[in-house]
Amino acid sequence: MRKFLLYPLAYLGLLACQQQPLAKFEIQVDLVERFEVPIHIDVAGIVDGTQAVFLMDPVSGSKYPAELNGEGSLATVLPHLPKGTQVFHLFAGTIPSDRSVSVEETDSGIQVNNGENKVFFYQTAMAFPKEGLPDYYKRNGMIHPLTSPGGQVLTDDFPAGHVHQHAIFNAWVNTMFRGEKVDFWNQHQGTGTVEHKEVLSISPGKWRTSFAVKQSHISLKHGEVLEETWELTTYPTEGFFVFDLCSEQINTSQDTLHLLEYHYGGMGFRGSREWNVVDSIHYTNEWKILTSEGHTKESANHTKAKWISAYGEIGGETAGVTVFGHPDNFRYPQIVRVHPTMPYWVYSPMYEGGFHIAPGARFKARYRFYVHQGIPDEKILASIEADLTRPISIKVLP
């Protein structure tokens, strides 16, 4: 049986050698070898956007499934790129692969999967705290749950002790608007909140899937101040999960929003309830923190970090997530606020001084999430950091 299954692949390899490639690409990798690299190439005007395709390394003969999205883009994930230059040929045809990502919209949100494994859920329906807690803690427009490759839930929503924190969420804290303080993070202050607004688009694909949503940052007195767009893109990496979150805020009001110097606020992560010492029912162990500069939980607070890892035991197994800031982000590498006892951290650019978002102005930020079973892999950390700070060069050859 095993021998029989090789025949179609052998035939495909022979066919690839006989036919002319649809295109040729040169990929250059600088300084750091790469692993599980998402590839996205503009092939508009070069390749028909509807046919099945694959990439082949003409030197080794290795073949890699790929996908055209119908709009002139080619997507795949290459498992390994050594330092130096490689050439890949693009051929028409299909080769088998177990890899895929998928996205599904439900009545309550958007679920993203890697193969058969859940990656994360974006909450569009309003979620409410448990009975006995005030409704002003209600929230949507956050990612929860975030799930590890082993199935552990890495995030917590409405956590004991900090009910106003919501898994993966973005909110400013100490702001001034029309001469008054507005706190979009601490809902119990009664001045502001953040809500999901609408789903803009869903773009499914086996090798790259994405969706875009809008959120509203609301002054409870004056209405919407910021409109924020999240675009989330997920890739079918093997052994771990990878997705990108791109945020763009625009001031939709007629007045400037002033973000005052403060010790926290921004893109935050609230970790597992098993790491929450205040949660007497679910707590089992302290989380661990590691940053790009080598800081741990004890020393990471208010230090700059290109990336920050949070991990620990959940259900008796170690799992975690590392979040990378993008070099284009304001004040990169940004300061991270790491709470001394509670399992949350947040990228907090206002710690270095206040700034403002004027009417019609935009504030952009990008993050890459690496979700891992066990502790973070050093070679993957180095690879992803290099992907962001020294991206590979891709050139279409004549």
Secondary structure (DSSP) of 12-57: HHHHHHHSPPSEEEEEEE-SS-EEEEEEEEE-TTTS-TTS-EEEE-
Spatial contact of 237 and 77, defined as CB atoms under 8 Å apart: yes
- Residue with the bigger pLDDT between 168 and 14: it is 168
- Please choose, from the candidates 167, 173, 163, the residue with its C-alpha nearest in 3D space to the C-alpha of residue 351: 173
Exposure string (b/e) for 102-121, b if CB count within 10 Å is 16 or more?
bbeeeeebbebbbeeebbbb
3-class state of residue 379 by DSSP: helix
Tell me the β-bridge partners of 337. 346
**39, 63, 97 — which closes off a domain?**
97
Q: What is the mean pLDDT of residues 253-257?
A: 99
Final residue in a domain of this structure, among 62, 97, 132: 97
Determine the Cα–Cα distance for residues 50 and 70; give it in Å rounded to an integer: 6
Least confident of 64-73, 167-176, 210-219, 250-259: 64-73
Selection from 92, 88, 114, 89 nearest residue 103 by Cα: 114
Q: Are residues 87 and 184 in the same domain?
A: no
| Residue 241 sits in the same domain as residue 363 | yes
In a domain, 81, yes or no: yes
Are 183 and 297 in contact by the 8 Å Cβ rule? The answer is no
* Close Cβ partners of 123 (under 8 Å, ≥ 6 residues apart): 108, 109, 139, 140, 141, 142, 143, 144, 196
> Do residues 309 and 253 both lie within one domain?
yes
Question: Across the chain, what does the average pLDDT equal?
Answer: 95
pLDDT of residue 71: 80
- DSSP H or E stretch at residue 11: helix 2-18
Q: pLDDT, tens digit, for every residue of 196-225? A: 999 999 999 999 999 999 999 999 999 999
242 occurs within a structural domain? yes
- How many Cβ atoms from other residues are within 10 Å of residue 140's Cβ? 21
**What is the average pLDDT across 227-231?**
99
- Has residue 397 been placed in a domain? no
Residue in this structure with the two tokens 């390899």, named with its chain if needed:
13
Q: What is the pLDDT of residue 70?
A: 78
Confidence (pLDDT) at 6 = 37
124 and 180: one domain? yes
CB < 8 Å & 24+ apart, contacts of 141-146: 141/169, 141/194, 141/195, 141/196, 141/197, 141/213, 141/215, 142/166, 142/167, 142/168, 142/169, 143/167, 143/168, 143/169, 144/120, 144/168, 145/118, 145/120, 145/121, 146/119, 146/120, 146/321, 146/369, 146/371
Q: Please determine, for residue 340, whether its predicted confidence score (pLDDT) is greater than 90.
A: yes
Any domain includes 32:
yes
> In this predicted structure, what is the pLDDT of residue 2?
36
Is residue 50 located within the same domain as residue 118? no
For residue 68, pLDDT over 60 is answered with yes
pLDDT confidence bin for 49, thresholds 50/70/90: confident
Quick one: 139 and 115 in the same domain?
A: yes
Contact 203/75 with Cβ under 8 angstroms? no
C-alpha dist (Å) from residue 243 to 34, 66, 126, 144, 332: 16, 18, 24, 14, 20
The domain boundary, picked from 45, 73, 97, lies at: 97
What is the token pair recorded at 183? 């706190």
For residue 1, pLDDT over 70 is answered with no
Q: 277 and 255, same structural domain?
A: yes
Question: CA 120, CA 113: separation in Å to the nearest integer?
Answer: 7
- Gyration radius from the chain CA atoms: 22
Average pLDDT over residues 80-98: 97
User: φ, ψ for residue 134 (rounded to 5)?
Assistant: -65, 145
Q: What is the mean pLDDT of residues 374-378?
A: 98
pLDDT of residue 395 exceeding 60, the answer is yes
Residue 11 has pLDDT above 70, yes or no: no
CATH of the domain at 163: 2.70.98
Q: 268 with 297, same domain?
A: yes
* Domain containing residue 18: CATH number: 2.60.40
pLDDT over 60 at 14, yes or no:
no
Give me the domain span that covers residue 62. Answer: 2-97
- Could you tell me how far CA 145 lies from the centroid of its own chain? 13
Tokens matching residue 356: 């403002």
Domain membership flag for residue 395: no
Amino acid letter for position 24? K
pLDDT bin (cut points 50, 70, 90) of residue 317 is very high
HSE toward the beta carbon, residue 219, CA cutoff 13 A = 21
Side chain identity at 40, as an amino acid letter?
H
* Percent of the chain with pLDDT strictly greater than 90: 92
Identify whether residues 317 and 342 lie together within a single domain. yes
**pLDDT given at position 19:** 81
- Are residues 66 and 109 located together in one domain of the fold? no
**The predicted structure's pLDDT at residue 237:** 99
Residue 161 lies in a domain: yes
Domain assignment of residue 396, yes or no? no
Using a 10 angstrom Cβ sphere, with 0-12 exposed, 13-18 middle and 19 or more buried, the burial of residue 59 is: exposed
Instruction: Please say whether the beta carbons of 54 and 94 come within 8 A.
Output: yes
On whether the CB atoms of residues 310 and 269 are closer than 8 A, the answer is: yes
All residues at 6 or more sequence positions from 236 whose CB lies less than 8 Å from its CB, including other chains: 77, 99, 100, 101, 114, 115, 206, 207
Q: Is the pLDDT of residue 18 over 80?
A: no
287 plus 375 within the same structural domain: yes
Whether residues 91 and 119 fall in one domain: no
Q: How many domains does the chain have?
A: 2
Within a domain: 394: no
